[in-house]
Amino acid sequence: MAVYVDSEGIRWRGKEWCHLVADSIEELHDFAARLGLQRRWFQNKGRYPHYDVTMTVRSRALLMGAVDADRATLIACCRRVRADILLGRTQALLS
């Protein structure tokens, strides 16, 4: 299992943001908590569950073992997690 972070660099509110995802929702929440992210920041209303993180947090995530992911890797991971959600394997963890 792995945690991934992209380098999207989306500008919003004066900062650059990217996405933190993982091979499972459990792993994503655990890693996010270790990064100091609040659970309420979890994004689960879009196409894939993730946390938005600043580039500073991205750097910390990489130091903690997250994998620097390109777009294809991120999308593949998100599709696997989305399939788990649709199959009902992780419903309780989505809130």
**What are 6-20's pLDDT values in tens digits?**
987 778 778 899 999
- Is residue 45 over pLDDT 80? no
Residue type, 70: D
With pLDDT > 70 as the criterion, what percentage of the chain qualifies? 91
Q: pTM (2 decimals)?
A: 0.83
Residue type, 65: G
Token reading at 8: 């999207």
pLDDT of residue 49: 86
In this prediction, residue 91 has a pLDDT band, given cuts at 50, 70 and 90, of: low
List Cα–Cα distances, 48 to 56, 61, 64, in angstroms.
22, 19, 23
**For residue range 56-87, what is the model confidence (pLDDT) as tens digits?**
999 999 999 999 999 888 888 888 888 777 77
Q: Burial of 33 by CB count in 10 Å (0-12 exposed, 13-18 middle, 19+ buried)?
A: exposed
How far is it, in rounded angstroms, from Cα 83 to Cα 62?
Answer: 26
